[in-house]
Structure 1
Amino acid sequence: MKHWATTKERGNYLGILIVLRAYKYGGHILMRLVLAPVIFYFFLTGTTARKASMAYLRKLHGYSGKASPFQKLPTWRNSLKHFWQFGLASLAKTDAWIGRINKRHVKNCGNTHFRDLEQRPEGGILIGSHLGNLEVARAIASSSYCKRMNVLVFTEHAQAFNRALRELNPNVAVDVIQVTNIDMGLAIMLRERVDQGEFVVIVGDRTSVTDPSQSITHDFLGEPAQFAIGPWVLASILECPVYFLFCVRNANGQGYDLHLDFVTEQLHLPRRSRHQHIEAILAQYIAQLENLCQRYPYQWFNFFDFWQQQTEGTVGNAD
């Protein structure tokens, strides 16, 4: 089966920079006019992404039952709306980094606020997902608070996007760390930063780029899917507070709902029962992800077959 990381990213640094500069000086109206045909083109030509979008929307509909956010089985129109929301999320990233979105546009919906993190001497790990817009959350945190965010990214496209953003706003107080694997060298470096009061941001809804077998299978929207064990193992190595972080556009499209939730003071993974402990915290994570997918159905942006089963070495026991 095709792994998500083998899907070629469409875009490069120069192209992204040109688009961002046009957005900065042309505003929303110009960029939406440009964005509409681009999104429609990707929708027509991106067969894999379009099928993945439809599969996700229909699984969400079936899983939710009477609580489904859709009145009937989703069609290509719902999928096109899903693509359009992805385009709007890309614009929102730029809005956040050039200062057009600030904390006044964000409603805190979780049990923790960024100011709570600011008041604690230690750092922590924030585990997010491809639901909503982590870029908005981290931009707001960086512009309003002093704690540095170290963001782990796994694609060159993400690195190029952030490099282009720095061209527009050199005061971005975020370290974007492009990685292919979470090894001990990286863990030691991140542990030092967390000990200095900084935060690590990582997503939990992808499998490993280099070793997809390092995953654990758990039901998501009613069907088994694979989730990387890396974020949870990293959290245990860092020996720091663990939080879930989701930032989603609200129903009226005028602001954002920030779901920042404290999970545990420290994640312990005893060797003999590591599988069970990872399953327990992963179940919490997936439960929140499912709930938010139901509330914000068009904002989960994994455009590949998320429920595919790897053909080699899938971890059934994380020991």
Structure 2
Amino acid sequence: MSRHWLKQSERGSLFLIRLITRITLLLGRPAGRLLLYPITLYFVLFSREARNASRNYLKRVVPQPIGMRHIFRHYHTFAATILDRVYLLSGRQDYFNIDIRGETLLLEQLKGGRGCMLLGSHLGSFELLRSLAATHPDISVKALMYEENAEKISQVIQTLNPEIADMIIPIGRPDSLFQVQEAVELGEIIGILGDRVALDDKQVKVRFFDQTCRFPAGPMLIAGLLKIPVVLFFGIHQGGRDYTIHFELLTEGFHLDREQRWQQITEWTQRYANRLEHHTRQAPYNWFNFYDFWDETGNTPK
């Protein structure tokens, strides 16, 4: 259990977030960009488990032998998105060149006054959603996060934009589903990441990069219980200040049948995994699961 991502991966990620946040606030983005190189090198050299996880993942998606330069690029892309997160959470979306694709698909689902689920992943930057606030200030997004991480990340966010910390719904509390339902009825978007399984998560097995992997059942279970649309979100870092946002409609809503519930959840999760794999293959250095995702499924590469 001590190797699980909640105890392994997030600890390093949060330290990196705090470090880069301080540097950026003190010295600005140009200085932060320069310092990303020694920071990235440090993490590549001294985070053995995350480095091995990066190598195991890149073996599946990069069509050439994986060396340290590939791992460095993977880490550096992650660090760059964290640096940009400081600006995005501070309301500086105008600093970036953001190409939004499929925005009307999302807006169509909100026309009836009821909210929807925005299902993201650890591919690219989920904070790019803040760019919607610039053109659609009436749209509200609540983020579902694991309680432990929600508290830690809220501490970081508090220094950048205190209002955003109030837009987090912790997962695992007795009233979590009630808060989600209430937000949906108010016409708000529920944002959740669907590519990590927590210790007590219900889970399903799907095909991902030609292997059977475990994905959380929670997102599709919530969507089915509340009968809400699910829109996929991928915010890809293209380098420098350039990002591309992809919105894709997964479903306008579905009803869970008691007898076939888990079959339905598995089928919808498989569709999500298929689209995640597609976009990951297009931007392989943007997937930031720095723990042994494959080991948890019993599929570590040889």
Fold equivalence (TM over 0.5): yes
> 1:193 and 2:183 equivalent?
yes
Per-residue CA deviation, residues 28-60 of structure 1 (Å, 9 max, x unaligned), is: 221123332222111111111001101111012
Q: Is this contact kept in 1: 2:96–2:241, CA < 8 A?
A: no
Q: Which amino acid aligns with 1:296?
A: A
131, 138, 144: which one aligns with 1:140: 131
- Structure 2: segments with no counterpart, 5+ residues: none
Identity between Structure 1 and Structure 2 (%):
28
* Contact 1:9–1:157, Cα closer than 8 Å, also in 2: no
Output the aligned Cα RMSD. 2.7
Q: Decide which of 72, 80, 85 is 1:93's aligned counterpart.
A: 85
Q: Where does 1:39-188 land on structure 2 (aligned, <5 Å)?
A: 39-61=40-62, 70=63, 72-102=64-94, 105-110=97-102, 112=104, 115-116=107-108, 119-137=111-129, 139-144=130-135, 145-154=137-146, 156-157=148-149, 159-172=151-164, 175-179=167-171, 181=172, 185-188=175-178
Gaps of 5+ in 1: 62-69, 312-319
SS at match of 1:298: helix
| Alpha-carbon separation, structure 2, partners of 1:292 and 1:18 | 29
Please say if residues 239 and 266 of structure 1, whose CA atoms lie closer than 8 Å, have aligned partners that are also in contact. Answer: yes
Deviations 1:45-93 (A, max 9, x none): 11110011011110123xxxxxxxx4x2222210111000010010111
In the TM superposition, 1:2-41 aligns within 5 A as 2-7=3-8, 9-10=11-12, 19-41=20-42
Structure 1 residue aligned with 2:256? 269
Equivalent residues of 1:152, 1:176 under 8 A apart? yes
**CA deviation vs aligned residue, 1:213-255 (integer Å, no higher than 9, x gap):** x2111121111211011111111122211111111113x5432
Pairing partner for 1:202 from 181, 192, 211: 192
**C-alpha separation in 1, matches of 2:296 and 2:96:** 42
CA–CA separation in structure 2 for the residues paired with 1:287 and 1:11? 26
1:231 paired residue among 219, 228, 243: 219
Equivalent position to 1:217, from 196, 201, 205 = 205
| TM-score, structure 2 as length reference | 0.87
Residue type of the partner of 2:121?
S
- The one-letter code sitting in structure 2 at the alignment partner of 1:294 is R
> Is this contact kept in 2: 1:142–1:173, CA < 8 A?
no
1:249 aligns with 2:240: no
Q: Distance in 2 between matches of 1:141 and 1:162?
A: 21
Amino acid at match of 2:224: S
In the alignment, which residue of structure 2 is the partner of 1:259?
A: 246
1:120, CA displacement in angstroms? 4.2
Give the total of aligned pairs. Answer: 295
Distance 1:118 1:218, change over 3 A: closer
| TM-score, normalised by the number of residues in structure 1 | 0.83
**Local SS of the residue matching 1:146:** coil
Q: CA-to-partner distance for each residue in 1:104-130, whole Å, 9 max, x for gaps?
A: 722122364554456441101111100
Aligned partner (choices 283, 289, 292) of residue 279 of structure 2: 292
Task: State whether residues 215 and 228 of structure 1, in contact with CA within 8 Å, keep that contact through their aligned partners in structure 2.
Answer: yes
| Pair 1:47–1:300, CA change in 2 (3 A) | same
In structure 1, distance between residues paired with 2:152 and 2:36: 19
Task: Letter of the 2:187 partner, please give it.
Answer: G
